[in-house]
Amino acid sequence: MIIKVLGASGSEVPGHYCPAFTVDGKILLDAGTICISLNITEESNIRYILLTHAHFDHIKGIPFLLDNLVVRETGSTVTVMSGQEVIDDLKQNIFNDRIWPDFTRIPTPDAPVLRFGIVRPGDEETIDGYRITAERVSHTVPSYGYILEKEGGKTIAYSGDTGPTDLFWKKVDTRNVNCLIVETSFPNRMEEIALQSGHLTPSLLAKEIAKMKTPPPRIYLIHAKPQHQQEIEKEIPALGREDIRFLTKGEILKI
């Protein structure tokens, strides 16, 4: 499995883009950054977008991707998948013919550039050779973490935004996950803000990792607020793990 990091930050400043990761070029995990990081061919290869939640920093790339595909007349369809509440939010608040066009009817209702797919927490679903499991995590809005298993291959888990949570780690612990991508948004001194806003600090992350009997062997961190990233990075060695570090925009992981 090849994972390309289009963005891995909790906000946007020069050099830091919002979270999005391509899996083997055709599935996107979150969509905070798309078109400013992909070339035309790479854009056209995207078939599925798995959204953790509807916060703007995780969906921001979708409107421009759809617009580009329609303008280029690629004829391709992108299926945006998430929990029912997340999809409802996108329909009502983004693709509502006011903020942005309803791309489920463009270029034609029969062959639109956008389709929606609903995932149910705990269920397994197979798309394009990948076994997908979504599980609820704990954020300020309905949010899902994902486990992706390539058929006959490796398995990754992606938390999206979450504060302390349980179900997702139980599921990860049963699935022989090779690589975990998990958020760490704030430094330890901001624990109260992290908890209020449904995020983690390094010391909160340590408690989450300890919830698993067999934590994944590789753990990558994302979603630091750029203003706090250096401070957070200094607090990571205290976790006592060598296989843990922040991802950076443009990085490519071979799992």
Q: How far is the CB of 84 from Zn ion (least distance, A)?
A: 18
Helix H or strand E encompassing 168: helix 167-173
Please say which residue, 155 or 184, places its beta carbon nearer to Zn ion.
Answer: 184
Helix H or strand E encompassing 106: none
218 within 8 A of 182, measured Cβ to Cβ? no
What count of residues does the chain have? 255
At CA 25, angle to CA 46 and CA 45, rounded to 5? 35
Q: How far is the CB of 152 from Zn ion (least distance, A)?
A: 32
Determine if 57 is a binding residue for Zn ion (CB under 5 A).
Answer: yes
Please say which residue, 55 or 249, places its beta carbon nearer to Zn ion.
Answer: 55
95 to 124, contacts with Zn ion by CB under 5 A? Answer: none
Binding mask 140-169 for Zn ion (x = CB under 5 A): ---------------------x--------
Please say which residue, 141 or 238, places its beta carbon nearer to Zn ion.
Answer: 141
SS3 label, residue 235? helix
Query: Number of residues in contact with Zn ion, rule: CB under 5 A?
Result: 3
- Give the sign of the dihedral formed by CA 59, CA 16, CA 6, CA 160: negative
Please say which residue, 3 or 20, places its beta carbon nearer to Zn ion.
Answer: 20
189 within 8 A of 169, measured Cβ to Cβ? no
Judged by the rule CB under 5 A, the positions of this chain that interact with Zn ion are 55, 57, 161
